[in-house]
Amino acid sequence: MDAPAIETAGLIKTFGDNRAVDGVDLTVPPGTVYGLLGPNGAGKTTVVRMLATLLRPDGGAARVFGHDVVREADAVRSRVSLTGQYASVDEDLTGAENLVLLARLLGHSKAQARARADQLLAAFGLTEAADRQVKKYSGGMRRRIDIGASILNTPDLLFLDEPTTGLDPRSRNQVWDIVRIVVANGTTVLLTTQYLDEADQLAARIAVIDHGKVIAEGTPGQLKSSIGAGTIHVRLRDAARRPEAERILAEVLGTTVQQDADPVALSARAEAGGSEQGAAELASRALGRLASAGIVVDDFSLGQPSLDEVFLALTDREVAA
């Protein structure tokens, strides 16, 4: 596969006065999970709907495996599947009926459709629930039948629009496992999510999107280091030295230091700020200063910034600009 799974240039969609998608450029390599991360209303779903041929872009271009989403919509449709934000199955029908219906629409004979439905129901642990209406399914089961319906014909590109919104942690982990297996078998996944840990867990690359624009793009690691912030935790041997240690840390790090509930513990954000220094470098300098002041450090850790911190930092920057 030479062409990128997804390639967009200057993609625009307006609803009335609202520019829901405002010039989005994306390149998604095949065979990976690509995360579209952003808050509610950021334009993630609109991007997905345009790529899945459900909405016509108002400007720019989008190609899926080299096929234009407007002019070659049918070619795109034969290679993609969509699992929408709300279950994209018929809630009045049973799980088995849904799968047979969609298999028939994809051209399977009656017998083939039934066999394929049974196979999928078994693989998704839904054999027991096969003859129950989907509206009686739990949230996790609904998600599974939905993803099952999306892989009736194994798609080359699967859109997962907020696949774990509203799920309990166990069901969420099941969905994550399924996504990993789907990708391992060669399907590209475009995942939209508002959960930063979800993007961190699954995505090889992430585009952070806000107000219809991509405000950052890269691997999860790159995004984190671009912010250059981490949290330093220090545990001292002697609680009496804490005020002194606090003063030194504040001086070196240039931020306020927090006294933790534990009388020997301190924590502070190591923010690169205006300088070029990384968080690790700052932290090691701070430790050096503590040692030369004769303060014994029992334990020390430098936490990577969470994607939450990344996201907040990026959107704050937007607001400031």
Residue ranges in contact with other proteins by CB under 8 A: 49, 52-54, 56, 74, 77-78, 80-82, 84-93, 97, 101-102, 104-109, 112, 119-120, 122-129, 133, 138, 140-141, 144, 149, 151, 153-154, 170-171, 174, 177-178, 181-182, 184-187
Query: Smaller CB distance to other proteins: residue 191 or 283?
Result: 191
The residues, any chain, with a CB within 8 Å of residue 290's CB and separated by 6 or more, are 234, 245, 248, 249, 297
> 298 with 254: CB under 8 angstroms?
no
Q: In the complex, what is the shortest distance from the CB of residue 305 to other proteins, in angstroms, rounded to a whole number?
A: 31
Query: Smaller CB distance to other proteins: residue 108 or 242?
Result: 108
> 112 with 103: CB under 8 angstroms?
yes
Q: In the complex, what is the shortest distance from the CB of residue 90 to other proteins, in angstroms, rounded to a whole number?
A: 5
Query: Smaller CB distance to other proteins: residue 119 or 256?
Result: 119
Q: In the complex, what is the shortest distance from the CB of residue 233 to other proteins, in angstroms, rounded to a whole number?
A: 35
Residue burial 21-52, b: 16+ Cβ < 10 Å; e: rest: bbebebebebbbbbbbbbeeebbbbbbbbbbb
> 7 with 27: CB under 8 angstroms?
yes
Cα gap 124→119, rounded to integer Å = 9
Q: In the complex, what is the shortest distance from the CB of residue 198 to other proteins, in angstroms, rounded to a whole number?
A: 16
The partner residues of 233 in beta bridges, in order of sequence, read 267, 301
Q: In the complex, what is the shortest distance from the CB of residue 136 to other proteins, in angstroms, rounded to a whole number?
A: 10
Query: Smaller CB distance to other proteins: residue 76 or 307?
Result: 76
> 183 with 32: CB under 8 angstroms?
yes
Question: 3: which 2 tokens?
Answer: 């062409």
Q: In the complex, what is the shortest distance from the CB of residue 26 to other proteins, in angstroms, rounded to a whole number?
A: 19
Query: Smaller CB distance to other proteins: residue 167 or 252?
Result: 167
Query: Smaller CB distance to other proteins: residue 16 or 107?
Result: 107
> 86 with 43: CB under 8 angstroms?
no
Rg (CA), the chain: 24
